[in-house]
């Protein structure tokens, strides 16, 4: 009976150690963060009322002209039905060191690596954008 108890304890320890190794290795092997974007990146979700507020603003917004004489460009990413876009949004939030509980749409990520989350901060940032 003692041999059975010892075997169970050893098997449990091996499973625990293996699990810790597996999960810690998985976290350390995450890919490098994507490079900073050349344009503003806007992440949104279909049916999100705050995203709809930003979209309404964008319909009438006249983007300022940047250094190269071109208007500011916004690349848009729908995240609720596109896992690749959702992963990019999470990487952008991680770059800004945003806690997971505070991640959501809408999000505006700048070429300088700044995050603006929520309709009011995004719209305010775009209104004050001076180049």
Q: What is the pLDDT along the chain (131 residues), one digit of tens a residue?
A: 577 767 676 666 566 665 555 554 444 445 688 999 999 999 999 999 999 999 999 999 988 887 777 889 999 999 999 999 999 999 999 999 999 999 999 999 999 999 999 999 999 999 998 65
Q: Are residue 53 and residue 9 in the same domain, yes or no?
A: no
Q: Is the dihedral of CA 116, 120, 124, 126 positive or negative?
A: positive
Q: Are residue 66 and residue 104 in the same domain, yes or no?
A: yes
Q: Are residue 44 and residue 26 in the same domain, yes or no?
A: no
Q: Are residue 82 and residue 108 in the same domain, yes or no?
A: yes
pLDDT at 67: 73
Whole-model pTM: value is 0.74
Helix (H) / strand (E) element for 85: namely helix 83-95
pLDDT at 10: 63
Q: Are residue 56 and residue 17 in the same domain, yes or no?
A: no
Q: Are residue 23 and residue 47 in the same domain, yes or no?
A: no
Tell me which residue range forms the domain holding 102.
40-127
pLDDT at 59: 95
- Within a domain: 35: no
- Within a domain: 100: yes
Q: Are residue 19 and residue 48 in the same domain, yes or no?
A: no
- Within a domain: 80: yes
Our count of domains for the chain comes to 2
State the residue for tokens 């979700």: 45
State the residue for tokens 């995450």: 30
Q: Are residue 65 and residue 118 in the same domain, yes or no?
A: yes
């Amino acid at each position: 009976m003692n041999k059975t108890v010892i075997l169970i304890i050893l098997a449990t320890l091996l499973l625990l150690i293996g699990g810790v190794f597996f999960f810690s290795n998985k976290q350390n092997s995450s890919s490098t963060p994507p490079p900073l974007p050349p344009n503003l990146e806007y992440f949104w979700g279909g049916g999100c009322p705050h995203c709809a507020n930003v979209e309404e603003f964008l319909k009438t917004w006249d983007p300022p002209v940047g250094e190269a004489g071109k208007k500011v460009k916004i690349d848009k990413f729908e995240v609720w039905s596109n896992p690749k876009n959702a992963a990019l949004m999470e990487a952008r939030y991680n770059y800004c060191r945003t806690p997971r509980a505070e991640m959501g749409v809408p999000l505006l990520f700048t070429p300088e690596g700044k995050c603006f989350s929520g309709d009011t901060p995004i719209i305010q940032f775009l209104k004050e954008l001076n180049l």
